[in-house]
C-alpha cells in the first residue's frame, strides 16, 4: 500500500492545492492512502476526510504539521489541534495523549525548521527509549508562571518515525542523516512528498508492508509503529519548486 503522509493544502497558507484536487491527483497516480498535514490547522485534513469517506479507492488519514518552538513535528492520526509554540517534548506527549503518532519531517533541513538540525539534545530526548535527564525540573522552573506549564515529567515522548526521503531536497544530505538516525534508533523510515502543489504529490512516498488491502486509519498507524515501512520515490523537480517559490512571492505582493 502506498502512503503519502505529508501533503499541504491551501489551508496551510503556503500551498495552492484544494483538498478535492489532492484526492483526485492521489487516485490518478495510484496512491492508496494520503494525509493532508497542513501547518497548525486541521481544516484541510478534515475536509479531505469528509470528501473521501465514501470512496473505496483512497483512505485519508487525519494529520497536522505542528510548529514547536524548535521545529516541525507531524501529528499523524490527529483530528484535533495542538497549539503551536510548545516544546518538542510537550508536543510529542500531547500527540500520544490524543492517540496519534509523532513523525519528524525533514529533520536535518536547516532552511525548513528541521527539528534535529543543531539540536542534538532534543534529538536524543525524542529518540531514546529511556529518557532520564533533569531537563524537566529545570524547564518547569523557567516556565512556572506560564498558563500551559510543562508537566513535571515526560513519560511518552519517543517519536515513532522520521522522514528519510522527503522529496523537497537539493543534495539529499538531510535525508541521508535521517536514514542513518532511523537505523541507529530503530525508527520507522518514512517517505513523503511534502507537496505544496499537485504535481509533487507522491514523488516520495511510504510503502506499507504486511497490511490489510482495505486498511483502516488504525491499521496504518499500527504499520508505522511496527516499522513496516519502506521509503520510496524521487525528488521533486527543483525547477517546479523554484516556480512555486516565485509564484508564492508574487501572490504575497499582489494579493
Is the confidence at residue 56, as pLDDT, over 80?
yes
In whole angstroms, what is the distance from residue 106 CA to residue 168 CA? 9
In whole angstroms, what is the distance from residue 70 CA to residue 108 CA? 12
Q: What is the mean pLDDT of residues 139-160?
A: 59
Q: First vs last Cα of the chain: how many Å apart?
A: 40
Helices and strands per DSSP (H, E), number in the chain: 8, 10
The pLDDT assigned to 143 comes to 46
The pLDDT assigned to 138 comes to 46
Strand ranges of the sheet holding 101-104, from the earlier edge strand across to the other edge = 65-67, 72-76, 101-104, 161-166, 188-192
**For the chain, percent helix, then strand, then coil, each to nearest 5?**
35, 20, 45
Residue pair 168/156 in contact by the 8 Å Cβ criterion: no
Domains parsed from the chain with CATH numbers: 2-254 (3.20.20.140)
Is the confidence at residue 6, as pLDDT, over 50?
yes
What confidence tens digit (pLDDT) does each residue in 75-103 have?
Answer: 999 999 999 999 999 999 999 999 999 99
- The C-alpha cell of 218 is what? 488504525
Q: What percent of the chain has pLDDT over 90?
A: 76
Lowest pLDDT segment from 42-46, 118-122, 168-172, 227-231: 168-172
Amino acid at each position: 500500500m502506498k502512503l503519502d503522509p505529508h501533503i499541504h493544502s491551501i489551508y496551510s497558507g503556503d500551498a495552492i492545492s484544494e483538498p478535492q484536487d489532492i484526492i483526485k491527483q492521489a487516485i490518478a497516480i495510484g496512491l492508496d492512502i494520503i494525509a493532508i498535514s497542513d501547518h497548525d490547522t486541521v481544516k484541510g485534513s478534515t475536509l479531505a476526510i469528509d470528501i473521501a469517506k465514501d470512496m473505496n479507492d483512497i483512505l485519508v488519514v487525519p494529520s497536522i504539521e505542528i510548529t514547536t518552538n524548535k521545529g516541525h513535528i507531524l501529528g499523524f492520526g490527529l483530528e484535533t489541534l495542538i497549539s503551536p509554540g510548545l516544546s518538542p517534548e510537550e508536543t510529542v506527549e500531547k500527540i500520544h495523549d490524543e492517540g496519534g503518532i509523532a513523525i519528524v519531517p525533514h529533520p536535518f533541513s536547516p532552511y525548513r525548521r528541521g527539528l534535529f538540525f543543531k539540536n542534538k539534545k532534543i534529538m536524543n530526548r525524542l529518540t531514546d527509549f529511556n529518557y532520564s535527564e533533569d531537563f524537566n525540573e529545570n524547564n518547569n522552573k523557567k516556565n512556572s508562571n506560564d498558563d500551559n506549564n510543562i508537566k513535571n515529567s515526560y513519560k511518552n515522548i519517543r517519536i515513532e518515525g522520521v522522514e528519510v526521503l522527503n522529496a523537497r531536497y537539493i543534495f539529499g544530505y538531510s535525508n541521508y542523516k535521517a536514514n542513518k538516525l532511523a537505523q541507529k534508533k530503530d525508527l520507522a523510515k518514512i517517505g513523503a512528498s511534502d507537496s505544496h502543489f499537485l504535481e509533487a504529490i507522491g514523488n516520495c512516498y511510504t510503502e506499507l508492508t504486511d497490511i490489510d488491502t482495505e486498511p483502516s486509519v488504525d491499521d496504518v498507524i499500527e504499520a508505522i509503529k511496527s516499522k513496516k515501512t519502506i521509503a520510496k520515490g524521487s525528488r521533486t523537480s527543483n525547477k517546479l519548486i523554484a516556480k512555486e517559490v516565485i509564484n508564492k512571492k508574487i501572490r504575497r505582493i499582489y494579493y
